[in-house]
Structure 1
Amino acid sequence: MPLRIGYVREHFSSPLLQYAEADQGRTFTLVECPSGTGQLIARLTNDEIDVAIALTDPLISGIANGSTAYKLVGSFVNTPLNWQPSDPSDVPLRRAVTTGVNSKYQSIADLEGSTIGISRPGSGSQTMAYVMALQQGWATEKLQFKVNNDIRGLLDSVNDGSTSAFMWEWFTTKPFVDAGEGRFIGSVPTPWPSWLIAAHPSPDRAPPDALRVFLHGLSSYVRAFDSEEKRESADVEFIKGKFGYPEEDIKAWLKTVSYPNDCAAIPKKVISETLDVLEKAGVVKGKFDVSYFVDTDVVKLT
């Protein structure tokens, strides 16, 4: 049976989409999860997918907080995620902080004590809200959230006033802001590489040999996509054709993103340093052995 690979259909997934077009369902099939990492984790738990390409922080916090639905098996994107700049010239690899077009909120500082919109519990949108609170010196235990499922629901909530703001990747949010559906008020960079790969621990659902084949193939497509030659033209045309983003935005993003040479390897410091920040933010508690988070039969810790 082909592996069921859960993913978010965003520009970051371009090498995966190219790999899937070549594989044509022989060794894996793609399952789109538009609500993000919270949905990916839920589908791993509910036997709807076998592998997830998802955000680093909620994957790690999920395991630390007791999830047995997956272990980490690889890396996908080396650079941090941009959860949004207030200045369009800012580096587009952070979490964007977006509010309603006519809302009263003008800066991140204005959000203290308000209700933040998130896609799902345990999602990157929630984890990064804790990181934002930590950076601002707010009490993390006092944060309030409202679940809005996806970016459409999040945009609606900031414009109808049921939430103050939400956090989403800048490049994905920008077309909605450009269309007048939201307003950027700040940015919160992730303190870790943005995307990892997780798989269900059962060899019946995610056989180690099948995972190795998938990771080996993905590595070749990632290396090709990440090459200087492909960045000049082919990557731009692929993203433009798949996602319809303006060429200038694609070129700006490509200048800031990097992928691993080997998707079947995870640096130990990615896990340990992410845990350190998440503990300070109050998202996880306790001390952990890095090897607890990975399937050592598949991934190499470096």
Structure 2
Amino acid sequence: MHLRVGYVREHFSSPLLQFSEKDAGQTFTLVECPSGTGQLISRLTNNEIDIAIALTDPLISGIANGSKAYKLVGSFVSTPLNWAVITGAKSEFNSIQDLKGTTLGISRNGSGSQTMAYVMALQQGWPTDDLKFQINNDIRGLLNSVNDGSTSAFMWEWFTTKPFVDAGEARFIGSVPTPWPSWLIAAHPERASSVAITAFLAVLTEYVRAFDSEESREKLNVPFIEAKFGYPKEDITAWLKTVRYPASCLEIPTKVILDTLGVLEKAGVVKHPEGGFNIDLFVNKEVVKLT
């Protein structure tokens, strides 16, 4: 079975890109989703992709809130994601505290940029039920919105937005790391066979382990990311010090799901059901092992 794999073209996806170059379209095709996890979930729902490598929190909140379009099948990045809080180059906002009561930019409803806005509000002690959002689709739309004043700020991964800050298009006014490992893998529960998904993830694990090895970190990763994304070497080196990948893409720690649900519930993103969450409903056990 030929798989359609949705992903976001960021430095985190480097092991996937290396796998894709070697596979050359034999077993899977990459489908780029520049708007992020909200777009990935939408494409899973609309039968445009079979597998999504996406952010942990929107994937888990989507299932908790009733989505049947996918189940979790694996892990991709085991360290937190550092979300930058970004405002316009000449805006009036200079700190996270200044954003209370303002309109925040997000890429889509249900996206990581929206989920993390709730987490930021929770950390600041703001009411989460009166947050105001404007949908701006992608990084370019978000940057435009903070510079034309229609939004106060938006949240996006630090190193992905740093080139725009370095170019003077925007400013960092803070950051909010995720309280959970940052990337998981999801798949439609019926469209793709468990055998095909398992085979894909088994090989992806080999590329993840190779990328995560000390040898690759010292010799191969920096030139690969520099060639693919054009980031300065010092930024790539700094990012590599912060990121780790799982030993197996075919395992998810149960604690990751439970802890993420706990934070999302406090932030008001999900509601605790009577009797509690049934973790088995979140995963495809024919593929992934809960540890």
Shorter-chain-normalised TM-score: which range? over 0.9
> Which residue in 1 is equivalent to 2:51?
51
Give the Å deviation of 1:256: 1.0
Equivalence for 1:88: none
Query: Matches of 2:94 and 2:216 in 1, distance apart?
Result: 39
Alignment match, 1:223: 209
Distance 2:113 2:208 in 1: 26
Between the two proteins, what is the percent identity of the paired residues? 76
Aligned positions of 1:135-154 closer than 5 A: 135-154=123-142
Corresponding residue number in structure 1 for 2:283: 294
Q: Following the alignment from structure 2 to structure 1, what is the Cα–Cα distance between the partners of residues 79 and 49? A: 26
1:117-128 map, 5 Å: 117-128=105-116
Determine the structure 2 residue equivalent to 1:97.
Answer: 85
Q: Does 1:238 find its partner at 2:224?
A: yes
1:10 and 1:244 map into 2 onto residues whose CA distance is 11
Q: Could you give the per-residue CA deviations for residues 6-65 of structure 1, whole angstroms, max 9, x where no partner exists? A: 000000000000000011111111000000000000000000000000000000000000
Paired residues for 1:131-170 under 5 Å: 131-170=119-158
The CA distance in 2 between the partners of 1:64 and 1:167, in whole Å, is 23
2:251 is matched with which residue? 265
SS in 1 for 2:129: helix
Alpha-carbon deviations, 1:106-151, whole Å to 9, x = none?
1000000000000000000000000000000000001000000000
The equivalent of 1:248 in structure 2 is 234
Q: Provide the rounded CA distance (Å) in 2 between the counterparts of 1:12 and 1:71.
A: 21
Of the three residues 164, 173, 193, the one matched with 1:185 is 173
Secondary structure in 1 matching 2:82? coil
Cα distance in 2 between the residues matched to 1:293 and 1:173? 31
Inter-partner Cα distance in structure 2 for 1:215 and 1:257? 20
Aligned to 1:91: none
TM-score (norm 2): 0.98
Matched, 1:200 2:180: no
Residue in structure 2 matched with residue 31 of structure 1 by the alignment: 31
Number of equivalences: 288
Q: Secondary structure of 2:264's partner? A: helix
Pairwise mapping of residues 57-76 of structure 1 onto structure 2 (< 5 A)?
57-76=57-76
Q: How far apart are the structure 2 equivalents of 1:15 and 1:147?
A: 30
Give the gaps of 5 or more residues in structure 2. none
C-alpha distance in 1, partners of 2:189/2:226? 36
Report how far residue 215 of structure 1 moved.
Answer: 0.4
Of the three residues 130, 134, 139, the one matched with 2:118 is 130
* Unaligned ranges ≥5, structure 1: 84-95
Q: Counterparts of 2:271 and 2:204 in 1: how far apart (Å)?
A: 34
